[in-house]
A and B are shown apart, each in its own frame.
Chain A
Amino acid sequence: MIVGEQKALEEIWESIKDHKKVLVFGCNTCVAVCQQGGNKEAEILASMLRMKATQNGVDIEIKDSGIERQCEHEFFEKTEEEVDWAEAVLSTACGIGVQFMAEKYPKPVYPGLNTTFLGAVEELGIYTERCQACGNCKVGKFGGICPVARCAKRVLNGPCGGSTNGKCEISKDVDCAWQLIVDRLKLLDKLDTYEELTPIKDWSTDRAGGPRKLVREDVQHDS
Chain B
Amino acid sequence: MTAKTPSKLEKILAAGHYAVTSECGPPRGSDPAGIVEKAELIKNHVDAINITDNQTSVCRTCSLAVCIRLKTMGLEPVLQMVTRDRNRIALQSDILGAAHWDINNILCLSGDHQSFGDCSKGQNVHDLDSMQLLQTVRQMCDEGKFLGGDEIKRPPQMFAGAAANPFADPFEIRVARLAKKVKAGAQFIQTQCIYNLDKFEEWMQGVRDRGLHEQTAIMAGLTPMKSAGMARYMKNRVPGMDVPDEVVQRLADTPKDKQAEEGIKMCIESIERLKECEGIRGFHIMAIEWEEKVPGIVEAAGLYPRPEV
Residues of A within 8 A of B (CB): 152-166, 169-170, 176, 178-179, 182-183, 191, 194-195, 197-201, 203
B270-288 contact mask (Cβ, 8 Å, vs A): 1 or 0:
0000000000000000000
* Chain A-chain B contacts (Cβ-Cβ < 8 Å), number: 96
Q: Flag if A200 contacts B147 (CB, 8 Å).
A: yes
Q: Which chain B residues border A197 with CB–CB below 8 Å?
A: 131, 135, 180, 183-184
If A169-B240, A195-B180 are given as contacts, then 20 extra A-B residue pairs at C-beta distance below 8 Å, sorted by A number, are A152-B115, A152-B124, A155-B126, A156-B132, A157-B131, A157-B132, A160-B130, A161-B168, A162-B112, A162-B168, A162-B239, A162-B240, A163-B240, A164-B169, A164-B239, A178-B170, A182-B173, A183-B170, A198-B132, A203-B127
Q: Flag if B113 contacts A152 (CB, 8 Å).
A: yes
A170 to B124 CA separation, bound complex (whole angstroms)? 13
Chain A nearest CB from B24 CB (Å) reads: 20
Q: Which chain B residues border A195 with CB–CB below 8 Å?
A: 176, 179-180, 183
A158 to B110 CA separation, bound complex (whole angstroms)? 10
Q: Flag if A179 contacts B180 (CB, 8 Å).
A: no
B172-209 contact mask (Cβ, 8 Å, vs A): 1 or 0:
11001101100110000000100000000000000000
A195 to B182 CA separation, bound complex (whole angstroms)? 11
Q: Flag if B169 contacts A194 (CB, 8 Å).
A: no
| 3 closest Cβ pairs, A-B complex | A161-B165, A169-B239, A162-B239
Q: Flag if B129 contacts A153 (CB, 8 Å).
A: yes
Q: Which chain B residues border A178 with CB–CB below 8 Å?
A: 170
Q: Flag if B88 contacts A165 (CB, 8 Å).
A: no
Chain B nearest CB from A141 CB (Å) reads: 14
- Which residue of chain B lies nearest to A192 when distances are taken between CB atoms in the complex? B176
Q: List 7 A-B contacts (CB under 8 A).
A: A153-B124, A153-B129, A155-B130, A160-B110, A163-B170, A164-B240, A197-B180
Partner of B180, one of A152, A157, A160: A157
Asked if B84 is at the interface (CB within 8 A of a chain A CB), the reply is yes
Q: Flag if B113 contacts A153 (CB, 8 Å).
A: yes
Contacts known (A157-B129, A163-B168); A194 close to B112, Cβ less than 8 A? no
Asked if B163 is at the interface (CB within 8 A of a chain A CB), the reply is yes
Chain A nearest CB from B196 CB (Å) reads: 13
Asked if B247 is at the interface (CB within 8 A of a chain A CB), the reply is no
A162 to B163 CA separation, bound complex (whole angstroms)? 12
Asked if B128 is at the interface (CB within 8 A of a chain A CB), the reply is yes
Q: Flag if A159 contacts B169 (CB, 8 Å).
A: yes
A192 to B273 CA separation, bound complex (whole angstroms)? 33
Q: Which chain A residues border B239 with CB–CB below 8 Å?
A: 161-164, 169
B145-174 contact mask (Cβ, 8 Å, vs A): 1 or 0:
001000000000000000111001110110
Q: Which chain A residues border B130 with CB–CB below 8 Å?
A: 155, 157, 160
How many chain B residues touch A (CB < 8 A): the figure is 37
A107 to B134 CA separation, bound complex (whole angstroms)? 53
A178 to B111 CA separation, bound complex (whole angstroms)? 16
Q: Flag if A170 contacts B135 (CB, 8 Å).
A: no
A155 to B133 CA separation, bound complex (whole angstroms)? 12
Most chain-A CB neighbours within 10 Å: which of B112, B165, B173, B180?
B173
Q: Which chain B residues border A176 with CB–CB below 8 Å?
A: 169
Chain A nearest CB from B171 CB (Å) reads: 10
- Which residue of chain B lies nearest to A185 when distances are taken between CB atoms in the complex? B173
Interface residues of B in 81-120 (CB under 8 A from A): 83-84, 88, 110-113, 115-116
Q: Which chain A residues border B240 with CB–CB below 8 Å?
A: 161-164, 169
Q: Flag if A159 contacts B180 (CB, 8 Å).
A: no
Q: Flag if A170 contacts B169 (CB, 8 Å).
A: no
Q: Which chain A residues border B127 with CB–CB below 8 Å?
A: 201, 203
Q: Which chain A residues border B170 with CB–CB below 8 Å?
A: 159, 163, 166, 178-179, 182-183
Q: Flag if B176 contacts A194 (CB, 8 Å).
A: yes
A160 to B110 CA separation, bound complex (whole angstroms)? 7
- Which residue of chain B lies nearest to A166 when distances are taken between CB atoms in the complex? B169
Partner of B129, one of A158, A166, A194: A158
- Which residue of chain B lies nearest to A182 when distances are taken between CB atoms in the complex? B170
